[in-house]
Structure 1
Protein backbone atom coordinates (compact mmCIF):
# COMPACT_ATOMS: atom_id res chain seq x y z
CA UNK A 1 0.00 0.00 0.00
CA UNK A 2 1.35 3.42 -0.97
CA UNK A 3 1.95 5.97 1.77
CA UNK A 4 1.56 9.67 1.10
CA UNK A 5 3.07 12.32 3.34
CA UNK A 6 2.28 15.80 2.09
CA UNK A 7 3.38 17.90 5.05
CA UNK A 8 6.56 19.95 5.43
CA UNK A 9 7.27 19.26 9.08
CA UNK A 10 9.29 16.35 10.41
CA UNK A 11 7.90 13.44 12.42
CA UNK A 12 5.82 11.12 10.23
CA UNK A 13 3.60 9.12 12.64
CA UNK A 14 5.14 5.80 13.67
CA UNK A 15 2.13 3.79 12.49
CA UNK A 16 2.81 4.84 8.88
CA UNK A 17 5.80 2.48 8.93
CA UNK A 18 5.83 -1.31 8.90
CA UNK A 19 7.65 -2.08 12.14
CA UNK A 20 8.29 -5.73 12.91
CA UNK A 21 10.90 -6.25 15.63
CA UNK A 22 13.59 -4.04 14.09
CA UNK A 23 14.60 -0.87 15.92
CA UNK A 24 12.96 2.37 14.84
CA UNK A 25 13.67 5.98 15.69
CA UNK A 26 10.30 7.12 17.03
CA UNK A 27 8.54 10.11 15.52
CA UNK A 28 9.26 12.69 18.24
CA UNK A 29 12.96 11.77 18.42
CA UNK A 30 13.09 11.56 14.61
CA UNK A 31 11.81 15.14 14.38
CA UNK A 32 14.66 16.30 16.64
CA UNK A 33 17.24 14.24 14.72
CA UNK A 34 16.14 15.58 11.33
CA UNK A 35 16.09 19.12 12.68
CA UNK A 36 19.66 18.75 13.94
CA UNK A 37 20.81 17.38 10.56
CA UNK A 38 19.86 20.65 8.81
CA UNK A 39 19.13 19.08 5.43
CA UNK A 40 19.17 20.82 2.05
CA UNK A 41 17.36 19.36 -0.94
CA UNK A 42 20.58 18.41 -2.80
CA UNK A 43 22.45 16.80 0.10
CA UNK A 44 23.96 13.32 0.08
CA UNK A 45 22.85 11.70 3.34
CA UNK A 46 23.99 8.49 5.03
CA UNK A 47 21.93 6.64 7.66
CA UNK A 48 24.08 4.15 9.60
CA UNK A 49 22.08 1.43 11.36
CA UNK A 50 18.94 2.36 9.44
CA UNK A 51 16.60 -0.18 11.09
CA UNK A 52 13.09 0.13 9.63
CA UNK A 53 14.19 3.14 7.58
CA UNK A 54 12.09 5.82 9.27
CA UNK A 55 14.92 8.41 9.26
CA UNK A 56 16.12 7.40 5.78
CA UNK A 57 12.63 7.72 4.32
CA UNK A 58 11.87 11.09 5.92
CA UNK A 59 15.22 12.38 4.68
CA UNK A 60 14.62 10.97 1.18
CA UNK A 61 11.29 12.79 1.00
CA UNK A 62 13.07 16.08 1.79
CA UNK A 63 16.09 15.53 -0.47
CA UNK A 64 14.31 16.00 -3.80
CA UNK A 65 17.63 16.57 -5.61
CA UNK A 66 19.76 14.52 -3.25
CA UNK A 67 20.51 10.92 -2.36
CA UNK A 68 20.09 8.73 0.73
CA UNK A 69 22.23 5.69 1.58
CA UNK A 70 20.75 3.43 4.27
CA UNK A 71 23.26 1.03 5.84
CA UNK A 72 21.92 -2.00 7.70
CA UNK A 73 23.11 -5.59 8.24
CA UNK A 74 20.21 -7.31 10.03
CA UNK A 75 17.96 -9.30 7.69
CA UNK A 76 14.60 -8.38 9.22
CA UNK A 77 15.50 -4.68 9.23
CA UNK A 78 16.67 -4.90 5.60
CA UNK A 79 13.34 -6.40 4.57
CA UNK A 80 11.41 -3.70 6.45
CA UNK A 81 13.60 -1.00 4.92
CA UNK A 82 12.76 -2.24 1.44
CA UNK A 83 9.04 -2.55 2.21
CA UNK A 84 8.84 0.93 3.75
CA UNK A 85 10.90 2.51 0.98
CA UNK A 86 8.58 1.03 -1.63
CA UNK A 87 5.45 2.03 0.29
CA UNK A 88 6.57 5.67 0.43
CA UNK A 89 7.72 5.60 -3.20
CA UNK A 90 11.17 7.04 -2.50
CA UNK A 91 13.42 6.62 -5.52
CA UNK A 92 16.51 8.36 -4.13
CA UNK A 93 17.08 5.73 -1.41
CA UNK A 94 19.80 3.11 -1.83
CA UNK A 95 20.01 0.28 0.69
CA UNK A 96 23.50 -1.02 1.50
CA UNK A 97 23.58 -4.45 3.16
CA UNK A 98 26.43 -4.92 5.60
CA UNK A 99 28.33 -3.48 8.54
CA UNK A 100 29.18 0.22 8.64
CA UNK A 101 32.92 -0.37 8.33
CA UNK A 102 32.38 -2.28 5.07
CA UNK A 103 29.59 -0.23 3.50
CA UNK A 104 30.67 3.30 4.39
CA UNK A 105 33.85 2.78 2.36
CA UNK A 106 31.66 2.66 -0.75
CA UNK A 107 30.61 6.29 -0.12
CA UNK A 108 33.56 8.63 -0.37
CA UNK A 109 31.69 11.93 -0.04
CA UNK A 110 28.54 12.97 1.81
CA UNK A 111 27.00 16.05 3.43
CA UNK A 112 25.16 14.55 6.38
CA UNK A 113 25.41 11.36 8.41
CA UNK A 114 23.13 9.95 11.07
CA UNK A 115 24.25 7.12 13.34
CA UNK A 116 21.20 5.42 14.80
CA UNK A 117 23.08 2.19 15.51
CA UNK A 118 26.83 1.73 15.47
CA UNK A 119 27.25 -1.96 16.29
CA UNK A 120 30.29 -1.09 18.41
CA UNK A 121 31.96 0.82 15.55
CA UNK A 122 31.25 4.37 16.76
CA UNK A 123 34.90 5.51 16.83
CA UNK A 124 35.58 4.21 13.32
CA UNK A 125 32.36 5.77 11.99
CA UNK A 126 33.17 9.18 13.49
CA UNK A 127 36.72 9.05 12.09
CA UNK A 128 35.42 8.12 8.64
CA UNK A 129 32.77 10.84 8.78
CA UNK A 130 35.37 13.44 9.69
CA UNK A 131 37.48 12.43 6.69
CA UNK A 132 34.64 12.21 4.13
CA UNK A 133 32.03 14.77 5.16
CA UNK A 134 31.77 17.86 2.99
CA UNK A 135 32.91 21.20 4.35
CA UNK A 136 30.52 22.20 7.15
CA UNK A 137 29.07 18.66 7.00
CA UNK A 138 26.94 17.51 9.94
CA UNK A 139 26.88 14.36 12.03
CA UNK A 140 24.06 13.33 14.37
CA UNK A 141 24.29 10.34 16.71
CA UNK A 142 21.59 8.88 18.94
CA UNK A 143 22.47 6.93 22.06
CA UNK A 144 20.30 5.00 24.49
CA UNK A 145 23.12 3.88 26.79
CA UNK A 146 25.47 6.03 28.85
CA UNK A 147 28.44 4.12 27.42
CA UNK A 148 27.58 5.01 23.81
CA UNK A 149 26.79 8.59 24.84
CA UNK A 150 30.15 8.94 26.59
CA UNK A 151 32.17 7.37 23.76
CA UNK A 152 30.48 9.40 21.03
CA UNK A 153 30.58 12.67 22.94
CA UNK A 154 34.27 12.29 23.78
CA UNK A 155 35.13 11.35 20.18
CA UNK A 156 33.28 14.36 18.74
CA UNK A 157 34.87 16.74 21.27
CA UNK A 158 38.45 15.52 20.75
CA UNK A 159 38.35 15.43 16.95
CA UNK A 160 37.93 18.24 14.43
CA UNK A 161 34.24 18.91 15.02
CA UNK A 162 32.73 22.17 16.22
CA UNK A 163 29.43 23.11 17.85
CA UNK A 164 29.27 19.73 19.59
CA UNK A 165 25.90 19.50 21.32
CA UNK A 166 24.05 16.85 23.30
CA UNK A 167 20.32 16.92 23.96
CA UNK A 168 18.41 14.53 26.19
CA UNK A 169 14.98 13.73 24.73
CA UNK A 170 12.35 12.36 27.10
CA UNK A 171 8.97 11.52 25.62
CA UNK A 172 5.83 10.35 27.38
CA UNK A 173 2.73 9.45 25.39
CA UNK A 174 -0.86 9.27 26.55
CA UNK A 175 -2.50 5.82 26.67
CA UNK A 176 -6.21 5.45 27.26
CA UNK A 177 -7.34 3.19 30.04
CA UNK A 178 -11.10 3.29 30.44
CA UNK A 179 -12.16 6.88 31.08
CA UNK A 180 -8.62 7.97 31.94
CA UNK A 181 -5.36 8.69 30.13
CA UNK A 182 -2.04 7.52 31.55
CA UNK A 183 1.26 9.00 30.44
CA UNK A 184 3.70 6.24 29.50
CA UNK A 185 7.38 7.14 29.39
CA UNK A 186 9.51 5.94 26.50
CA UNK A 187 13.26 5.31 26.74
CA UNK A 188 15.31 8.45 27.22
CA UNK A 189 17.35 9.19 24.07
CA UNK A 190 20.50 11.28 23.81
CA UNK A 191 20.93 13.16 20.53
CA UNK A 192 24.46 14.34 19.78
CA UNK A 193 25.22 16.66 16.89
CA UNK A 194 28.28 18.42 15.51
CA UNK A 195 29.61 20.21 12.45
CA UNK A 196 32.85 19.45 10.63
CA UNK A 197 35.37 22.27 11.04
Structure 2
Protein backbone atom coordinates (compact mmCIF):
# COMPACT_ATOMS: atom_id res chain seq x y z
CA UNK A 1 0.00 0.00 0.00
CA UNK A 2 1.14 3.51 -0.80
CA UNK A 3 -0.38 6.98 -0.61
CA UNK A 4 -1.00 6.83 -4.34
CA UNK A 5 -2.78 3.44 -4.05
CA UNK A 6 -3.65 2.75 -0.38
CA UNK A 7 -5.44 -0.56 -1.05
CA UNK A 8 -4.49 -4.22 -0.91
CA UNK A 9 -6.50 -5.04 -4.03
CA UNK A 10 -5.01 -4.85 -7.53
CA UNK A 11 -6.57 -2.70 -10.23
CA UNK A 12 -4.65 0.57 -10.15
CA UNK A 13 -6.33 3.05 -12.52
CA UNK A 14 -4.40 3.51 -15.76
CA UNK A 15 -4.11 7.26 -15.33
CA UNK A 16 -2.04 6.91 -12.13
CA UNK A 17 0.89 5.46 -14.11
CA UNK A 18 3.41 7.66 -15.86
CA UNK A 19 3.26 7.04 -19.60
CA UNK A 20 5.43 7.50 -22.67
CA UNK A 21 3.96 7.99 -26.15
CA UNK A 22 3.81 4.72 -28.08
CA UNK A 23 4.67 2.51 -25.10
CA UNK A 24 1.94 -0.06 -24.40
CA UNK A 25 0.07 -0.17 -21.13
CA UNK A 26 -1.94 -3.19 -20.01
CA UNK A 27 -5.39 -1.77 -19.28
CA UNK A 28 -6.63 -2.15 -15.71
CA UNK A 29 -9.34 -4.74 -16.44
CA UNK A 30 -6.99 -6.83 -18.63
CA UNK A 31 -4.30 -6.53 -15.95
CA UNK A 32 -6.69 -8.05 -13.41
CA UNK A 33 -7.22 -11.06 -15.69
CA UNK A 34 -3.46 -11.45 -16.20
CA UNK A 35 -2.74 -11.29 -12.46
CA UNK A 36 -5.51 -13.80 -11.78
CA UNK A 37 -4.02 -16.19 -14.36
CA UNK A 38 -0.56 -15.90 -12.77
CA UNK A 39 -1.83 -17.39 -9.48
CA UNK A 40 0.82 -15.64 -7.43
CA UNK A 41 2.02 -16.41 -3.93
CA UNK A 42 3.39 -13.84 -1.50
CA UNK A 43 6.94 -15.05 -2.22
CA UNK A 44 6.66 -15.73 -5.97
CA UNK A 45 9.54 -15.01 -8.31
CA UNK A 46 8.07 -13.54 -11.49
CA UNK A 47 9.73 -12.68 -14.77
CA UNK A 48 7.87 -10.02 -16.78
CA UNK A 49 9.26 -10.14 -20.32
CA UNK A 50 8.58 -6.92 -22.17
CA UNK A 51 7.63 -4.86 -19.12
CA UNK A 52 6.47 -1.82 -21.10
CA UNK A 53 5.05 0.86 -18.82
CA UNK A 54 5.60 -1.33 -15.76
CA UNK A 55 1.99 -1.87 -14.72
CA UNK A 56 2.44 -5.62 -14.10
CA UNK A 57 5.69 -5.22 -12.09
CA UNK A 58 4.07 -2.52 -9.94
CA UNK A 59 0.86 -4.47 -9.29
CA UNK A 60 2.60 -7.80 -8.64
CA UNK A 61 5.33 -6.14 -6.58
CA UNK A 62 2.66 -4.77 -4.26
CA UNK A 63 0.83 -8.12 -4.13
CA UNK A 64 3.95 -10.22 -3.41
CA UNK A 65 5.82 -8.32 -0.69
CA UNK A 66 8.15 -11.26 0.02
CA UNK A 67 8.54 -12.04 -3.68
CA UNK A 68 10.78 -10.73 -6.42
CA UNK A 69 9.76 -9.38 -9.80
CA UNK A 70 12.26 -9.25 -12.64
CA UNK A 71 11.14 -6.74 -15.26
CA UNK A 72 12.94 -7.31 -18.56
CA UNK A 73 12.97 -4.45 -21.02
CA UNK A 74 15.36 -3.95 -23.95
CA UNK A 75 14.90 -0.20 -24.38
CA UNK A 76 16.76 2.02 -21.89
CA UNK A 77 14.16 4.81 -21.95
CA UNK A 78 11.33 2.33 -21.33
CA UNK A 79 13.32 0.59 -18.57
CA UNK A 80 13.67 4.00 -16.88
CA UNK A 81 9.91 4.46 -17.18
CA UNK A 82 9.40 1.16 -15.32
CA UNK A 83 11.79 2.41 -12.63
CA UNK A 84 9.89 5.68 -12.26
CA UNK A 85 6.54 3.90 -11.96
CA UNK A 86 7.95 1.57 -9.31
CA UNK A 87 9.20 4.61 -7.39
CA UNK A 88 5.78 6.32 -7.72
CA UNK A 89 4.13 3.40 -5.94
CA UNK A 90 6.97 2.67 -3.50
CA UNK A 91 7.62 -0.78 -4.94
CA UNK A 92 11.02 -2.05 -3.72
CA UNK A 93 11.05 -5.69 -4.88
CA UNK A 94 11.29 -5.11 -8.64
CA UNK A 95 14.62 -5.50 -10.40
CA UNK A 96 14.83 -4.10 -13.91
CA UNK A 97 17.04 -5.91 -16.41
CA UNK A 98 17.92 -3.98 -19.54
CA UNK A 99 18.38 -6.54 -22.27
CA UNK A 100 16.75 -8.50 -25.06
CA UNK A 101 14.98 -11.72 -24.20
CA UNK A 102 15.60 -14.55 -24.61
CA UNK A 103 19.35 -13.79 -24.89
CA UNK A 104 19.58 -12.05 -21.50
CA UNK A 105 17.73 -14.80 -19.63
CA UNK A 106 20.77 -17.07 -19.38
CA UNK A 107 22.52 -14.45 -17.24
CA UNK A 108 19.77 -14.31 -14.61
CA UNK A 109 20.69 -16.13 -11.39
CA UNK A 110 17.11 -17.16 -10.60
CA UNK A 111 14.61 -19.68 -11.91
CA UNK A 112 11.12 -18.18 -11.96
CA UNK A 113 7.93 -19.61 -10.47
CA UNK A 114 5.89 -17.47 -12.87
CA UNK A 115 6.55 -15.83 -16.24
CA UNK A 116 4.47 -13.24 -18.04
CA UNK A 117 5.08 -12.65 -21.75
CA UNK A 118 3.50 -9.61 -23.35
CA UNK A 119 2.38 -10.23 -26.95
CA UNK A 120 4.46 -9.35 -30.00
CA UNK A 121 7.94 -10.78 -30.86
CA UNK A 122 8.23 -14.37 -32.19
CA UNK A 123 6.11 -15.43 -29.23
CA UNK A 124 6.18 -19.19 -29.73
CA UNK A 125 9.99 -19.20 -29.62
CA UNK A 126 9.94 -17.01 -26.52
CA UNK A 127 7.50 -19.38 -24.81
CA UNK A 128 9.76 -22.36 -25.51
CA UNK A 129 12.85 -20.51 -24.30
CA UNK A 130 11.34 -19.43 -20.96
CA UNK A 131 9.88 -22.91 -20.41
CA UNK A 132 13.41 -24.29 -19.90
CA UNK A 133 14.04 -21.81 -17.06
CA UNK A 134 10.66 -22.28 -15.37
CA UNK A 135 10.60 -24.16 -12.08
CA UNK A 136 8.54 -27.38 -11.92
CA UNK A 137 4.85 -26.59 -11.39
CA UNK A 138 5.54 -23.05 -12.56
CA UNK A 139 3.10 -21.09 -14.73
CA UNK A 140 3.46 -19.05 -17.88
CA UNK A 141 0.91 -16.43 -18.85
CA UNK A 142 1.09 -14.81 -22.28
CA UNK A 143 -1.08 -12.40 -24.22
CA UNK A 144 -2.01 -12.36 -27.88
CA UNK A 145 -3.65 -9.42 -29.61
CA UNK A 146 -4.07 -11.18 -32.96
CA UNK A 147 -5.04 -14.56 -34.37
CA UNK A 148 -1.49 -15.39 -35.46
CA UNK A 149 -0.07 -15.05 -31.94
CA UNK A 150 -3.05 -16.89 -30.48
CA UNK A 151 -2.35 -19.81 -32.79
CA UNK A 152 1.41 -19.70 -32.13
CA UNK A 153 0.90 -19.74 -28.34
CA UNK A 154 -1.71 -22.51 -28.50
CA UNK A 155 0.63 -24.60 -30.61
CA UNK A 156 3.57 -23.83 -28.32
CA UNK A 157 1.73 -24.85 -25.14
CA UNK A 158 0.62 -28.08 -26.85
CA UNK A 159 4.15 -28.94 -28.00
CA UNK A 160 5.49 -28.30 -24.49
CA UNK A 161 2.81 -30.61 -23.01
CA UNK A 162 1.68 -27.85 -20.67
CA UNK A 163 -1.10 -28.79 -18.29
CA UNK A 164 -4.10 -26.84 -17.05
CA UNK A 165 -4.11 -24.67 -20.16
CA UNK A 166 -6.59 -21.82 -20.04
CA UNK A 167 -7.54 -19.32 -22.73
CA UNK A 168 -9.59 -16.21 -21.97
CA UNK A 169 -10.58 -13.39 -24.28
CA UNK A 170 -11.28 -10.09 -22.60
CA UNK A 171 -14.40 -8.15 -23.56
CA UNK A 172 -14.46 -4.95 -21.52
CA UNK A 173 -16.43 -1.75 -22.04
CA UNK A 174 -15.87 1.45 -20.09
CA UNK A 175 -18.32 4.29 -19.55
CA UNK A 176 -16.90 7.44 -21.14
CA UNK A 177 -18.18 10.97 -21.58
CA UNK A 178 -18.19 12.13 -25.18
CA UNK A 179 -19.46 15.63 -25.61
CA UNK A 180 -22.65 15.88 -23.58
CA UNK A 181 -23.37 12.14 -23.66
CA UNK A 182 -22.13 9.14 -21.78
CA UNK A 183 -21.42 6.04 -23.82
CA UNK A 184 -19.68 2.70 -23.44
CA UNK A 185 -16.38 2.35 -25.30
CA UNK A 186 -14.70 -1.00 -25.86
CA UNK A 187 -11.22 -1.71 -24.53
CA UNK A 188 -9.26 -3.56 -27.22
CA UNK A 189 -9.91 -7.29 -26.71
CA UNK A 190 -6.95 -9.50 -25.97
CA UNK A 191 -6.38 -13.23 -25.52
CA UNK A 192 -4.76 -14.38 -22.27
CA UNK A 193 -3.28 -17.87 -22.32
CA UNK A 194 -1.79 -19.73 -19.40
CA UNK A 195 -0.29 -23.14 -18.76
CA UNK A 196 1.67 -25.03 -16.13
CA UNK A 197 4.89 -27.01 -16.31
CA UNK A 198 4.38 -30.57 -15.17
CA UNK A 199 7.90 -31.21 -13.90
Which TM-score tier does this pair reach, normalised by the shorter chain?
over 0.9
Which residue number corresponds to residue 20 of structure 1? 20
Aligned counterparts of 2:39 and 2:74: Cα–Cα separation in 1: 26
Question: Within the alignment, does 1:128 sit opposite 2:129 as a pair?
Answer: yes
Which residue number corresponds to residue 110 of structure 1? 112
Aligned residues: 195
Structure 1, unmatched stretches of 5+, are none
Offset of residue 192 of structure 1: 0.3
Question: Within the alignment, does 1:185 sit opposite 2:186 as a pair?
Answer: yes
Q: Which moved more, 1:124-133 or 1:147-156?
A: 124-133
Aligned counterparts of 1:51 and 1:58: Cα–Cα separation in 2: 13
| Residue-by-residue CA offset, 1:86-107 (whole Å, 9 max, x unaligned) | 1111111111111111222223
Which residue number corresponds to residue 75 of structure 2? 74
Question: Within the alignment, does 1:6 sit opposite 2:6 as a pair?
Answer: yes
Structure 2, unmatched stretches of 5+, are none
Offset of residue 182 of structure 1: 1.2
Offset of residue 3 of structure 1: 5.2
- Taking structure 2 as the reference length, what is the TM-score of the superposition? 0.91
Distance 1:149 1:3, change over 3 A: farther
Q: Which SS does the other structure have where 1:83 is aligned?
A: helix
Offset of residue 142 of structure 1: 0.8
| Residue-by-residue CA offset, 1:18-41 (whole Å, 9 max, x unaligned) | 012211111000000001101001
Runs of 4+ in 1 over 6 A off after TM superposition: none
- Taking structure 1 as the reference length, what is the TM-score of the superposition? 0.92
Aligned counterparts of 2:71 and 2:120: Cα–Cα separation in 1: 13
Q: If each structure's strand is expressed as a fraction of its own residues, which one has the higher value? A: 1
Output the aligned Cα RMSD: 1.6
Aligned counterparts of 1:59 and 1:42: Cα–Cα separation in 2: 11
Which residue number corresponds to residue 34 of structure 1? 35
Q: Which SS does the other structure have where 1:163 is aligned?
A: strand
Which residue number corresponds to residue 169 of structure 1? 170
Q: Which SS does the other structure have where 2:138 is aligned?
A: strand
Contact between 2:43 and 2:66, CA under 8 Å: does it hold in 1?
yes
